[in-house]
A = this chain, B = another copy of it.
C-alpha cells in the first residue's frame, strides 16, 4: 500500500483538527442514511510480489504481437516502437504531472504539446492542430460534430462504407440524439468510394472519408474534396499518419479537417487504448476546434514560453456552450508520438512508409498466387489488403494460422456480411520477408477446414 500515516500520525492529526476519530469526521459529513457500513467485497490486498506473479500468469494466457507474428490491422498496428520512446516518456515529470494549469511549472509539457501540434500540421499539411483527442474514432466523430457546428443550417453527414466500420458506429451513436441524417455511400467494386459524390447535396454539412481506406485502398481525395466543396460542405479525412511518408497529405488534397489514429506513432497496441486522436484543421476553423491547444507567448521578462490558449472554447469556461466536453486528453501518447516522429524525421517516415507499401504489395502478390485465395479489390493499397478465401471459413483459417504462430488478420464478415469469406491482412515495416514467406507457406498448406495439413 502507498499510505503514509501511522496510527500515531492519525492521532496527532485528529488532535490538531479537534476530532476524536476519523469516523467522527466522516459522520459529521456523511449522513447516516448515506453511509456504507459493510466492507467492500473485493479480493484481498496483494503485495507487489504476489501481484507480479498473478498478473504475469494472466498475461501469459493472452496471445499477442509479442508471442505471435502480427498481421492484424484494421486501425491498430504493430509498428516498431523505439526504446527511446519508452525511456523518455516514462520519466516521472512527464508521467505524473497533469494538465498545465500553472504554465510556469509546466513548460516541459506545454513545449512538447506545441511541438506535437506543429508536427501534426507538418503531417497533415493543415494550419492548426489541437493537443490530442481520445482516439482515431472519436476524433473522426468530433471532426464531424465540429463541421456540423461550422456549416450552419445543414444536418446531413455523408460517409463511405470504406471508412472504418467502428468509426461509423461511433458516428451513429453520437448523431442519434441530434437532429442529423447519416448517409453511407457504398464502396465500389474496387473497394473505393468513387461514387460518393452522388450522395453529397446542398443539405450536406460534411463528408467523412478515410484514405487509405479501411481496405487499405487509396481514394481519389482531391476529386471528393472538389465535389464536397462544390456543395458547400467540409471534407473530413481520416488518414494514416505513417502513410504521408509517401502519400500526399490531407491538406494538400483539399481536406478541411484531418483526423487520424496516432497509435502507430510510438504507442503500444494495448488492446485498443489508450490511443491517440489526432486532429488538424484550416485556420478559419480554429475557434471551433475541440480540445486543449498549447500556444506560444512571452512571459513578463520577454522570454518565449507556452500556455494553454483559446481556452474560451473549453468546457471549464464555456460550460454547455463549449466546443467539446473534453477535459483530460491523451497528452502522454501525444508526447510519445512527438518523440517517435523526432526519431524518424522525414527520411525515417518515408522509409517506414516505403516498407509498409512494398511489403504489402509483395505479400498481396504472394497470397494472390495461391490457388485458394484471391484479392477482391484491384488497385493500389497501403499497408493493408483484403484477401478472399474461396474455400473454408475465415474463423477456422485464423485459428489454424494462430497455431502456426500468426495473428493472421482481421475477418471482415463482422462488419460486411458480403465479405464474410474475406479478411484483412496488415503488413507493417516490422514484418520481414521471411515472416511473409512463411505465412504464405502456412496458408498454402491449409485444408478446407482451415487446419494446416501435416501440422
A residues in contact (CB < 8 Å) with B: 48-49, 52-53, 80, 82-83, 87, 90-92, 429-430, 432
Contact = CB atoms under 8 A, between A and B. Distances in A.
Contacts of A82: 48
Contact of A83 (B48, B87, B91, B92): B48
A227 B242 CA distance: 75
Given A48-B80, A49-B430, A87-B92, 9 more contacts: A48-B82, A48-B83, A49-B80, A49-B429, A52-B80, A53-B432, A87-B90, A90-B90, A91-B91
Nearest to A84: B48
Contacts of A432: 53
11 contacts: A48-B80, A48-B82, A48-B83, A49-B80, A49-B429, A49-B430, A52-B80, A53-B432, A87-B90, A87-B92, A90-B90
Contacts of A90: 87, 90
Nearest to A49: B80
Contacts of A92: 87
Best-buried of A80, A83, A429 by chain B (most CB within 10 Å) = A80
A17 B445 CA distance: 65
A52 to B, nearest CB: 8
A53 B53 CA distance: 26
A91 B90 CA distance: 9
Contacts of A83: 48
A160 B386 CA distance: 72
Nearest to A86: B90
A53 B52 CA distance: 25
Nearest to A82: B48
A313 B215 CA distance: 71
Contacts of A430: 49
Nearest to A93: B91
Contacts of A52: 80
Nearest to A429: B49
A125 B432 CA distance: 58
Nearest to A352: B49
A52 B90 CA distance: 20
A52 B85 CA distance: 15
Nearest to A83: B48
A54 to B, nearest CB: 11
The 10 A-B residue pairs whose C-beta atoms are closest, nearest first, are A49-B80, A48-B82, A49-B430, A91-B91, A48-B83, A87-B90, A49-B429, A48-B80, A52-B80, A53-B432
Nearest to A50: B432
Contacts of A87: 90, 92
A48 B430 CA distance: 11
A150 to B, nearest CB: 42
A48 B87 CA distance: 14
Contacts of A49: 80, 429-430
Nearest to A87: B90
Nearest to A435: B53
A294 to B, nearest CB: 24
Nearest to A351: B47
A34 to B, nearest CB: 37
A249 to B, nearest CB: 25
Contacts of A80: 48-49, 52
Contacts of A53: 432
A49 B52 CA distance: 28
A429 B83 CA distance: 32
A90 B49 CA distance: 21
A87 B93 CA distance: 12
A65 to B, nearest CB: 12
Best-buried of A49, A52, A92, A430 by chain B (most CB within 10 Å) = A49
A44 to B, nearest CB: 15
Contacts of A48: 80, 82-83
A172 B432 CA distance: 52
